[in-house]
Structure 1
């Protein structure tokens, strides 16, 4: 990474408040790209050219001015970034007086170059992951071989292992991405990616931890935030990442819990993905009747299914007498034509409720 005009101007603006001597910053060609003396900008600096040739510091005394073009007494130091020459910093004045300030200036420039380099790398990698995930979740199909190659040779990761995907539906999802990444890394967990998706999703891909982590504990601060978190199953490879994502999305849509696990809604997932035409064909005679049920009967039916068709448990959960529950179930049978105590008919009722 080389010293640019824009970066040079920013550094001069920052350092000039602390260093009360003239400062010049030169690019790898020796041209002054930024200076406290605007009249010197864009000029070639002879001392800088000597530094570029030798990659060594160049001290210019009053007696040396005739040996170089466009120079004044002072110190010129090479600026390196990751082993390569990135430019030259020059401070005007008595060399003994400005040497320390010149060294501090060089250090500041090299630190700034590294920070910008890391920021650009992080931004570039984030864009690569965003593009990769977009292709992974293509609504029609994905090119698995291409995704594996991109992951291996561009993103430098091995996706041929088990993954678990989390989907967080949350406002300001772009801002939350970095915070969510920090929450996991603070617990020693390093996601494959944490990316924003669509209008309000954050997608997190975690390596298989064999249930050694408690996701709800790591993300406990989200309990106070308007967010829903779906957790997919553990699946293998790129195809597994895709499956786990859609499992997590289903888990969010099929429950009203803060944290929803796809493993807890397998039956609901199955019923929700029945062909709509077949579902309508089977249930059209019952749907209107169910819709006309009083609220208390629908609530009873929902609780009855949550309790796995156990009468005593349902009655206890609803704080009603067992006979009251039996009566309500009989009324549901009478009003809808489907008996919730008969397994096959209960399945149809469950599908209608979903």
Structure 2
């Protein structure tokens, strides 16, 4: 239970509170952490004696002479679940260090308890991740799988819907904070599951069995929870509602929807996708060839590409698009004309608009892939 890494963290956390030297000794009597690095790995007979008595011991000059590794000071047994698991020692005059000893001992025991519960949480989280991975990859449900769900408190008899959340390359610490925040916000009456998925993604597997459940409200709620921790926009792809045995279908839809998100549209529902569904089945080589045939001549002109994207977003309303771009309408007309001259595409034709939309769709996907 008392590992060297945790012992060193204890020394680091409490060491700045005291001027005296501190050691942490494991159950075998070995010093596993110390403010004096030269003492690490030494046997401490006084600590071993302290563990046998389960009582605080003052180390005197006589003890220094008769026991190896001992310095004058105080040794305090560290308890966890009513058992002694080690000793924390403070070097110095007994009358000076004794008043600090009990406080240091309590702080140490609290840190060990916190570490234990954190390990329990992490173990449960890893078990959930492994279970969901198998759930998404299983071809048929068997008794072993069903029994694995019981200790994890996962209901396999309700409809589900997956939210695939991209946390914009956040650090592991930020990802953990968001994961814990979402987990703590799950109502007790719902059997939602939230797991970490890759380095900076989360999967939220919603329980949609409640008749009063509002998906839009839930997605908005989750997005705002996530954004409390980020200074860059997160993105969420929302899959469809499926029976539990078809969970992979919701995952595939959520993944497809996530690919379709953008800065202007950070939340996308799979059920709203149309041309994007076709795009998922097109090979990368074909997508690249399509970009080369449609947009290659303006790839080095980002202001034209951005102007066309905004125009599409506003359903080709030049007035609304120019307002959004903060430019005069005539300037937007000029950029569209320049775009048509360079690409050979006539934006007055419906077919061209579809081609352009697909080209920009592939280009956005290509740009995202290169940035990963």
Q: Please give the range of the TM-score, normalised by the shorter of the 2 chains.
A: 0.5 to 0.7
Aligned-pair CA distance for 1:10: 4.2
Larger CA Rg, structure 1 vs 2: 1
Aligned twin of 1:261: 269
Deviations 1:172-223 (A, max 9, x none): 16756445435645755474123224x8753211223432543224414769
Aligned twin of 2:253: 247
Alignment equivalent of 2:218, drawn from 208, 214, 218: 214
Q: Alignment length, in residue pairs? A: 276
SS in 2 for 1:106: helix
Take 1:261 and 1:76, find their aligned partners in 2: how far apart are those partners?
A: 61
SS in 2 for 1:233: coil
Take 2:91 and 2:260, find their aligned partners in 1: how far apart are those partners?
A: 70
Cα 1:61–1:219 shift into 2, 3 Å: same
Aligned twin of 1:165: 162
Aligned-pair CA distance for 1:57: 1.9
Gap runs ≥5 in structure 1: 277-298, 304-330, 336-353
Work out whether residues 165 and 233 of structure 1, in 8 Å CA contact, stay in contact via their aligned partners in 2. Answer: yes
Take 1:69 and 1:10, find their aligned partners in 2: how far apart are those partners?
A: 25
Aligned twin of 1:51: 50
Cα 1:236–1:31 shift into 2, 3 Å: same
Aligned-pair CA distance for 1:262: 4.3
* 1:342-353 alignment runs, 5 A limit: none
* 1:177-188 alignment runs, 5 A limit: 177-178=175-176, 180-181=178-179, 184-185=182-183, 187-188=185-186
Report whether the alignment pairs 1:150 with 2:148.
yes
- Alpha carbon RMSD of aligned pairs, Å? 4.3
Deviations 1:3-23 (A, max 9, x none): 42x443443355443322233
Take 1:183 and 1:41, find their aligned partners in 2: how far apart are those partners?
A: 38
Deviations 1:101-141 (A, max 9, x none): 22222223223323433443444444333333333333xx4
Cα 1:130–1:12 shift into 2, 3 Å: same
Work out whether residues 135 and 142 of structure 1, in 8 Å CA contact, stay in contact via their aligned partners in 2. Answer: no
Aligned twin of 1:205: 205
Aligned twin of 1:235: 242
Q: Taking structure 2 as the reference length, what is the TM-score of the superposition? A: 0.57
Take 2:260 and 2:72, find their aligned partners in 1: how far apart are those partners?
A: 75
Take 1:235 and 1:187, find their aligned partners in 2: how far apart are those partners?
A: 23
Work out whether residues 195 and 204 of structure 2, in 8 Å CA contact, stay in contact via their aligned partners in 1. Answer: yes
Cα 1:80–1:143 shift into 2, 3 Å: farther
Work out whether residues 261 and 267 of structure 2, in 8 Å CA contact, stay in contact via their aligned partners in 1. Answer: no
11-20 or 174-183, larger mean C-alpha shift = 174-183
Q: Taking structure 1 as the reference length, what is the TM-score of the superposition? A: 0.60
Work out whether residues 179 and 196 of structure 2, in 8 Å CA contact, stay in contact via their aligned partners in 1. Answer: no
Aligned twin of 2:24: 25
Cα 1:169–1:104 shift into 2, 3 Å: closer
Aligned twin of 2:286: none
* 1:1-354 alignment runs, 5 A limit: 1-4=1-4, 6-38=5-37, 40-62=39-61, 70-138=69-137, 141-145=138-142, 146-153=144-151, 155-169=152-166, 171-172=168-169, 177-178=175-176, 180-181=178-179, 184-185=182-183, 187-189=185-187, 191-197=192-198, 202-208=202-208, 209=210, 210-212=212-214, 213-220=217-224, 228-237=235-244, 239-252=245-258, 258-264=266-272, 268=274
Take 2:110 and 2:66, find their aligned partners in 1: how far apart are those partners?
A: 32
